[in-house]
Structure 1
Amino acid sequence: MKKIIQQAFFQLRNQPLLSVITVLGTALAIALIMVILIVYQAKTADYAPEVNRSRSLYVKWERTVYDKKDPNSAGHSRPSLWLVKEIFYPLTTPEAVTATYEGGEVLVGTVGSDEEMNTPLMLTDAAFWKVYQFRFLAGKPFTEADFQSGMKQAVIAKSVARRLFGGAENAIGKDILVNFAAYTVCGVVDDVNRFCEFTWSEVYAPYTSNAIASEAEAGQTSGNNVITILARSTDDFDAIRNEVARGVAQINTTLGDMELQLMGQPDNFRMQLNRKFANQYENLNANFWKYGIMILIILLVPAINLSGLTNTRMRRRLEELGIRKAFGATRNELVWQVLNENLVLTVMGGLLGLALAYLFLWLMSDWLLQTVWGATATMNASMVSPVIFLIAFGFCLILNMFSAYVPAWRVAHTPIVDSLNEKL
């Protein structure tokens, strides 16, 4: 192995331009594939607090036809709290169901202080803390009893606690003003990444503490809620969808000329990513094909170029390889020599590609890490798996070895006389 590495570095020094282009071609291919896979992983993998993405179903939108005789008389919105209580809370198949109300930006401050900040508010139920697993730095979440009583309890993010109270421990038991209404801080959680669409906020409170969020007028289908259904297992997805469909059918018997439609929901996590808006749904299979073709092109273009570069390097080494054949080297030995040298160059390109991938993510984070609503997310170690690098490196290794094998095989099968006369 030591001799192979020495030979590869000798060729690197002997043919610096071709070797550098080979390493850079491999590095750029690996870097681009890694960036695509890392961003995809960050958007879809299970990590705190959304650790149960893989076994959760989501309902983000509803469609109401207001006159069955006129299909165009339809409106789209988030589901109402009435639908949550009538269809989703009674579900028996799932492990848990939670509803979150998008409270938007609110003014948060402390009593007797001029310190105020605009921050997002999420109103939810007690099951929210079971479906999603937050890292509590101090205190605890509001309880089911707090929720049922409509207590004005709040869980705040670390950044809010630091700004208003100087730290997490100092915030517990203190009052904050949320749009001038007093809430008692019962817990402080770690800041949530912006890629966590269903949990990202900075203040969390029971929706029963808010008059608007807790309104549930019978027959009112449109609202401002998002529903997460935690299944015991992905095997229960079909049973949950069937139970939801029965609930929708039951609701529709009470709506007269109106009709409620969930448009194929509940969705699994990857499906809901493509349902950005109620009346706009991107085909999931089409997206997979789009990204697959993109990755294939990224892989094939450098592979074709590397094959040409390897062929050029082989032409320059015809005399050397001819002499080795004359002294008894077999065709297989010559081919293995070239493949091993190419392996060393690929490893060098892989390590460089790993560094370039993170450099690209850092330099272009405003574009690459943009969330659904235009904000920029942050990367953390839990989003990135070593498997991503191994997949990208493995694909490039296979293509590089194949692109090197063809010219190496041709050279190895060139007659000794032609090799010594540098004729391929």
Structure 2
Amino acid sequence: LARSKNDFAAIRKECEQLRLKYNAGLKDEEIAYRDQPDTQEVSALRKWANGSPDIKAERNKRLLVYAILLIIPAINLSSMTQSRLRQRVAEIGVRRSFGSTRGNIMWQVLAENLVLTCIAGLVGLLFCVLFALAFGSTLFSASTLMLLNEAPTVDVMMLMHTSTFGYALLFCLILNLLSAGIPAWKASRVSITDALSNQ
């Protein structure tokens, strides 16, 4: 197993030496690895043995999907945040009249959404753990399609990975910044007189 990316070259070299050694004992045939052994990413994307996948194109597709998954909810959440801030225009005006700067107003709106995102993330994690404990064996029950004779033992840590939760939370935080940033910036730019007149 590779401990880091630096080990890939040594592993491939060793595999090639073993391949040549094996082929030396063959008469009319030859074994070819076709650019293998693969990394996990390449192995997951490889559809057939005689053709290597276009990793750059596949990564670009994933980035496009991630961008769409970020932008579309951000637009929806941004309009909801904007609507909520319209109801608090008078409060923003009062804060501004008592000396709050535009930066303070913007930071307060972002901080509120950040706290809500963290709370929602923890609640989501709790529900995931409870769901895994309650229905884990049902999700992975014995199935002829999976060639299993009996249901495997499912542990919560098999379903919950720290890095996966971290990436999901980071995704939510970026989404929070995208959805709350523009409304917060607009709310901080409302003049004090306009804000108080909407009371």
**TM-score relative to the length of structure 1:** 0.37
Work out which of the two has the higher radius of gyration on C-alpha atoms and give 1 or 2. 1
Aligned to 1:392: 168
Q: Secondary structure of the residue that 2:194 maps to in structure 1?
A: helix
Aligned to 2:69: 298
CA separation in 2, counterparts of 1:274 and 1:248?
28
CA separation in 1, counterparts of 2:198 and 2:76?
22
Q: Name the CA shift for 1:374/1:411 in 2 (closer, same or farther; >3 Å).
A: farther
| Cα distance per residue 1:326-349 (max 9 Å; x no partner) | 222211111111111111111121
Aligned with 1:250 (options 7, 13, 24): 24
Aligned with 1:324 (options 92, 95, 106): 95
Contact 1:318 1:420 in 2 (8 A): yes
Aligned to 1:407: 183
Aligned to 1:39: none
Find out whether 1:347 has 2:123 as its counterpart. Answer: no
Residue identity in the other structure for 2:139: S
Q: Name the CA shift for 1:241/1:422 in 2 (closer, same or farther; >3 Å).
A: farther
Q: Name the CA shift for 1:420/1:306 in 2 (closer, same or farther; >3 Å).
A: same
CA separation in 1, counterparts of 2:36 and 2:116?
49
Contact 1:248 1:261 in 2 (8 A): no
Q: Secondary structure of the residue that 1:390 maps to in structure 2?
A: helix
Cα deviation for residue 237 of structure 1 reads 1.9
Find out whether 1:267 has 2:41 as its counterpart. Answer: no
Q: Name the CA shift for 1:260/1:401 in 2 (closer, same or farther; >3 Å).
A: closer
**TM-score relative to the length of structure 2:** 0.72
CA separation in 1, counterparts of 2:197 and 2:174?
32
Name whichever structure is richer in strand by fraction: 1
Find out whether 1:338 has 2:109 as its counterpart. Answer: yes
Q: Name the CA shift for 1:307/1:359 in 2 (closer, same or farther; >3 Å).
A: farther
Q: Secondary structure of the residue that 1:263 maps to in structure 2?
A: coil
How many residue pairs get aligned? The number is 187
Q: Secondary structure of the residue that 1:261 maps to in structure 2?
A: coil
CA separation in 1, counterparts of 2:32 and 2:168?
42
Q: Name the CA shift for 1:406/1:276 in 2 (closer, same or farther; >3 Å).
A: closer
CA separation in 2, counterparts of 1:374 and 1:356?
30
Unaligned runs of 5+ in 2: none
Which aligned runs of 4 or more in structure 1 are off by greater than 6 angstroms? none
Aligned to 1:312: 83
Identity of aligned residues (%): 33
CA separation in 2, counterparts of 1:379 and 1:270?
25
Contact 2:129 2:160 in 1 (8 A): no
Task: Give the 5 Å matches for 1:2-401.
Answer: 52=1, 54=2, 233-247=7-21, 249-251=23-25, 254-255=27-28, 258-274=29-45, 283=53, 285=55, 288-358=59-129, 362=135, 365-366=139-140, 373=146, 375=148, 378-381=154-157, 384-401=160-177
Contact 1:319 1:420 in 2 (8 A): yes
Cα deviation for residue 275 of structure 1 reads 5.1
Q: Name the CA shift for 1:284/1:380 in 2 (closer, same or farther; >3 Å).
A: farther
**Aligned-pair Cα RMSD in Å:** 3.6
CA separation in 2, counterparts of 1:320 and 1:403?
21
With a CA cutoff of 8 Å and minimum separation of 6, indicate the structure with the bigger relative contact order.
2
CA separation in 2, counterparts of 1:315 and 1:379?
47
| Cα distance per residue 1:296-347 (max 9 Å; x no partner) | 4333332222111111111111111112212222111111111111111111
CA separation in 1, counterparts of 2:52 and 2:198?
57
Q: Name the CA shift for 1:383/1:318 in 2 (closer, same or farther; >3 Å).
A: closer
